[in-house]
Each structure stands twice: as structure tokens, then as C-alpha cells.
């Protein structure tokens, strides 16, 4: 695992009605997550975090949810990665880190493959680990070898 420079807890709310199978839901814009290199990501179920930053209930299970992350060129850098595998408590405490890329958060999304157990107004939480682009050269040796 690489050191965490910065992190931000972002959420995707499932909306006012229960999500359907195959539905894509985009991340909203977070000013703190503009012009960044993403270095890792984690997710949480309601057993770890009960309420989201916006006050919504957190999903009870990540099974059936995938995440796709796009870079600034709208290329899928992480495509339909199982959200379940991004939860440290389920993978011996490790978080998923990867070769950094400039994240285009508002084009990134989750896909609901199986909506079983998901309800309206629940949120999926993502802790995004990142380095601001203006500071990336200070940390590049750590992330790219």
C-alpha cells in the first residue's frame, strides 16, 4: 500500500426511487476532487458507516454494485470493478491503490447489476485517495516506479 496524501468521502445517492437493474448513477461534482490524481479508493456498507455526509442511510450491501472511473480523456481506467472488493474490512484491511491518473469524477459512475436489498435514498460511499495535480510531482516517485 502506498501512503495516503489526501482523502475525501464522496457519495452517490440512489435517488428518490429504488434503483433498477443495469442503472448507471454518476458521481456528483465535488470541488475538492477537481484536478486531482486519484491513487486509491475504498467503499463502505452500513455496518462501517451508518449515515452518509448528506444524512442518507448507507447501503446495507455492496454486492451487485460496480464502479467505473474515467480519466480526463473520458477513457475507462477502472471499468465495472466490484464495489464489494473495495471494502477494506472484506479484504484483510487493504485498500485498492493503483497507478495514479487524472480523475474525471463527474463522468465516473456506479452500475447497479443487482438491486436486491437496495432502497430509495440510500447512498454508496467512496473514500477517494488522491494527490492534487499541483502537488503530484512531489509524490510521483512514490506512486510510479
Q: What is the pLDDT of residues 29-43, one digit of tens each?
A: 999 999 999 999 999
pLDDT at 1: 65
Alpha-carbon span 111 to 25, nearest angstrom: 6
Residue 1: inside a domain, yes or no? no
Residue 117: inside a domain, yes or no? yes
Residue 64: inside a domain, yes or no? yes
What's the mean pLDDT in 48-56? Answer: 94
Total number of domains in the chain: 1
Q: DSSP character for 27?
A: P
Answer yes or no: is pLDDT of 145 > 70.
Answer: no
Alpha-carbon span 110 to 104, nearest angstrom: 14
What's the mean pLDDT in 94-114? Answer: 94
Answer yes or no: is pLDDT of 139 > 90.
Answer: no
Residue 34: inside a domain, yes or no? yes
Residue 133: inside a domain, yes or no? yes
Q: What is the pLDDT of residues 55-80, one digit of tens each?
A: 999 999 999 999 999 999 999 999 99
Domain range enclosing 131: 6-143
Sequence-separated (6 or more) residues with CB below 8 Å from residue 83? 43, 62, 65, 66, 67, 110, 124
CA-wise closest residue to 63 among 39, 77, 43: 43
Q: What is the pLDDT of residues 77-91, one digit of tens each?
A: 999 999 999 998 888
Q: In this structure, are residues 45 and 87 in contact, taking their beta carbons and an 8 Å threshold? A: yes
Position 138 confidence tier, pLDDT thresholds 50, 70, 90 = confident
Read off the pTM: 0.92
Alpha-carbon span 60 to 83, nearest angstrom: 12
Please count the other Cβ atoms lying within 10 Å of the Cβ belonging to residue 97. Answer: 17
Amino acid at each position: 500500500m502506498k501512503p495516503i496524501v489526501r482523502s475525501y468521502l464522496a457519495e452517490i445517492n440512489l435517488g428518490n426511487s429504488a434503483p433498477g437493474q443495469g442503472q448507471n448513477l454518476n458521481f456528483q461534482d465535488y470541488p475538492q476532487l477537481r484536478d486531482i490524481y486519484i491513487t486509491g479508493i475504498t467503499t463502505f456498507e452500513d455496518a462501517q458507516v451508518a449515515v452518509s455526509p448528506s444524512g442518507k442511510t448507507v447501503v446495507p450491501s455492496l454486492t451487485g454494485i460496480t464502479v467505473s472511473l474515467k480519466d480526463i480523456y473520458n477513457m475507462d481506467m477502472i471499468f465495472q470493478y466490484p464495489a464489494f472488493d473495495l471494502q477494506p474490512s472484506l479484504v484483510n484491511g487493504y485498500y485498492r491503490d493503483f497507478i495514479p491518473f487524472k480523475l474525471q469524477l463527474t463522468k465516473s459512475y456506479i452500475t447497479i447489476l443487482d438491486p436486491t436489498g437496495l432502497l430509495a435514498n440510500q447512498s454508496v460511499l467512496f473514500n477517494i485517495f488522491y494527490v492534487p495535480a499541483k502537488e503530484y510531482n512531489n509524490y510521483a516517485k512514490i506512486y510510479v516506479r
